[in-house]
Each structure stands twice: as structure tokens, then as C-alpha cells.
Amino acid sequence: MSESLNVGMIGYAFMGAAHSHAWRTAPRFFDLPLAPQMTALAGRDPERVAAAATKLGWDSSETDWRRLIERDDIDLIDICVPGNLHAEIAIAALEAGKHVLCEKPLANSVEEAEQMTAAAEAAKAKGVYAMCGFSYRRTPALALAKRLVESGALGPIRHVRAQYLQDWLTDENAPLTWRLDKSKSGSGSLGDIGAHIIDAAQWVSGANITGVSAIMETFVKERPVGGDFVGLGGVGGTDGPKGPVTVDDAAMFTARFDDGAVGVFEATRFALGRKNAMRVELNGAKASLAFDFEDMNSLWFYDSADGPNSGFRKIQATEPEHPYTGNWWPVGHGLGYEHAFTHQVVDLVGAIANGEQPTPSFADALRVQRVLAAVEASAEDESRWTAV
């Protein structure tokens, strides 16, 4: 029987539920070198965290994340709380000798991300590892895109085009949740969803962004305080007090990469009709590829060598040879959003067991954080070209 890896998770809302599903599911479909144990769940409210622990499959609950880190029966801390808490929790956990999985973006500032990265580097020297949860890397079709780029199929990359489009904030009476409070979230669409396409673009292309020119906009300046939480947004109302929205609703920027490619990025939660359109397209000297998470099991590929009558062809990324898919269903039976989190657990557990740095590392996430900071700085300075 495999040695156990005892997990303690902090936070149990949207991301907490997704991570819980992954910890439960990974050892049932993949042969893992360590056996994850869902040991404890932490949250502030005793009744709610206890109920969540029971519902999501955790053995016990805590109301203080510090107590969770102190427990001798915890090997890994999984952080699923707002960004303003990431640095304190992650650094404390690493210093206590616990492995860390931290949701994205890594922090609310470059300074915090640098501190977390330094703590992760110090811990790695002692065999303790940290990973940032950019889960879209584990979508089979996008991982296949990465594989194709690495094979040289596209040739030198010339264009990178990335969008993350949602519409859950278009209702002006949606409530003022923590995601709209800069002190908790760090930024709005930029950090929440823009971070994903920045990471995906750099990861798939194999190149880093070196400079940006950006604009950001907040369309709805204030929203109702409170309301019942539903999904990401919630149900607000026209009556009652309102509070200021202190983050961006939309962010757009052009970019240059260190391999000579140029990029265009857009992140918004105001694109009516787009529910979770996380889209990446790369145009190379020999071929192009395109991915849209709303059709997540497909990758579109164009090869100029196919001749003048060719066009984009659809690759159904469900073959056993494609990343991750061989452990799931028969060919053509698609996967869903939750599977990326399961694959994240698989890769993290494997890296820890092998004494290897899991990816994306905190250093990888710091690179994304630097781009986020450059985008904000550019937008605040009339779109001035800003180095990363």
C-alpha cells in the first residue's frame, strides 16, 4: 500500500469544492505513488466548516488555519481562500515543513509573490515543495497544444492571441462579493481570469512576456452590499445600501514576448453570452492552433503544409495517446472542468513522491504576477509601454 499524504485544505467555497473533488477522485482513476488522505478542512465558521467537511469528504475540521498547519498529521496545505491571505498562509506552511498547493493568482502583489517564492525556494532545499494552481494547464487539449509547440510543429511563434470572456457580472445589481474588493482579491478580471490566460500563453508558447501596453475599465462603479451567494456572482437587489467596486471589470493589453512574438490579451466578466470562454490561439511560421474552453475537448490545428485547400481541422483530444485521457473514458467521451483539478493532484503527488519540483512553481507564478503588475501600471499611465 502506498504511503499516505495527509492533506489539510483552507477554504470550502467554489475552489474548495473543486479541489475536494480532485483529492477524492485522483487515487480512484490514477495509480498514485502516495495515497492522498483528506484529513482536515479549515474555515472560520464552526458550523459551516463542519458541514462542508462532511459534505465534501474531509475527516475533520478546524476553525483556525494556524492550528491546521501545526497539526502533526498534516503533510500538505491546500490554499483555497482569497488572495490577500495567500502569502501569510503559504509562508507559514512552508516554514513548518508542509508542502503547499496555492490557488492562483499567487498573491495580491509582486512583493508578496516574491516573499512566497523565496520561502518556496528555501523549503525546496529541505525536500518541501510548493505549486500554484493554474489548473487549465491540465486540460488535455491545451496540454496537447503545448506538446505540439514543443515538437516544433508550429515553427517560430509569431502571434499569441488570448481571451478569457465571462458574463456573470453584467447584471448591475449583482452583489458586492469579495472578488470586487481590491483589498481581498488584488484585482478584478485581470487577476481572477486574466492570470489564467497569461500563464497559458507563456506556458504553451514557451516564451515569456517582456512588455505590455494596457487599458482597464470598471463599468459598474458600485453594487448592492450583501445578497445570497450564487455561483461566482450572486443575487443582489435594487434596494438597500451599495458599496464601491474597487477592481477592474475588463482588462486588455498588447504584449511582446522574449522570442519575438507579439500578443493580444483580453479579460472581461462583461461579455454577454460568453460563460467561460478561455481562449488561446497561436500562429507560427508553419502552423496554427486554437483552443476554447467552452469546447474544451477539442483543439483546432492548421498546417500550412497541407496545401491551398486545407483549413483548420478539429482534433478531438480524447485518445489514449493524448495527455491524461488514457485513465478516463473510451475515445470520444469528453472530460469536464473538474478533471483539470484531478490532473493537478496527480502531477503534484507524483512530483512530491519523486522529490521533484512540481509545476507551475511559485517562481512560474511570480512571472505571471509581474505581468499583472505591469498591466496595471500601464493602464494607470495612459497605456504607456511598460516593461515586465
Mark which of 98, 121, 136 sits at the end of a domain. 136
pLDDT of residue 355: 98
Residue 252 domain flag: yes
Residues 100 and 216 in one domain: no
- 345 in any annotated domain: no
What confidence tens digit (pLDDT) does each residue in 251-264 have? Answer: 999 999 999 999 99
**Count of the separate structural domains present in the chain:** 2
Question: Same domain for 80 and 205?
Answer: no
Residue 308: the pLDDT is: 85
Q: What was the pLDDT predicted at 229? A: 38
Note whether 166 and 116 are same-domain residues.
no
For residue 388, is it within any domain?
no
For 151-161, the pLDDT digits (tens) are 999 999 999 99
- The predicted pLDDT at position 364 comes to 98
**Angle in degrees, 0-180, between the axes of helices 362-380 and 110-124, rounded to the nearest 10:** 170
Mean pLDDT of 304-332: 95
Kindly state the helix (H) or strand (E) to which residue 351 belongs, with its residue range. Answer: helix 337-354
Residue 237 has pLDDT above 60, yes or no: no
Question: If you average pLDDT over residues 317-327, what whole number do you get?
Answer: 98
Residue 165 sits in the same domain as residue 298: yes
Share of residues in the chain with pLDDT > 70 (%): 96
Is 167 among the domain residues? Answer: yes
Strand partners, 163: 266, 279
Among 136, 152, 179, the domain boundary falls at 136
Q: What is the pLDDT of residue 11?
A: 98
At residue 239, the pLDDT reads 65
**Mean pLDDT within 290-295:** 98
CA 161-336-372 angle, to 5 degrees, is 35
Is residue 343 domain-resident?
no
Judge whether 188 and 249 are in contact, CB under 8 Å. yes
Does position 233 have pLDDT exceeding 70, yes or no?
no
Distance CA 320, CA 168 (A): 35
- Judged against a pLDDT cut of 80, whether residue 93 lies above it is answered with yes
Tell me how far apart the alpha carbons of residues 353 and 262 are, in angstroms, rounded to a whole number: 39
Q: Which domain holds residue 217?
A: 139-336+367-380
CATH number reported for the structural domain that contains residue 278 in this entry = 3.30.360.10
CB 68 within 8 A of CB 62: yes
pLDDT of residue 240: 75
Q: Examine the pLDDT at 230 and tell me if it is beyond 60.
A: no
**Does one domain contain both 160 and 113?**
no
Percentage of the chain modeled with pLDDT above 90: 94
Q: Does residue 187 sit in the same domain as residue 214?
A: yes
Tell which of 83, 104, 136 closes a domain.
136
Residue 238's pLDDT is: 60
Q: Say if residue 126 is in the same domain as residue 154.
A: no
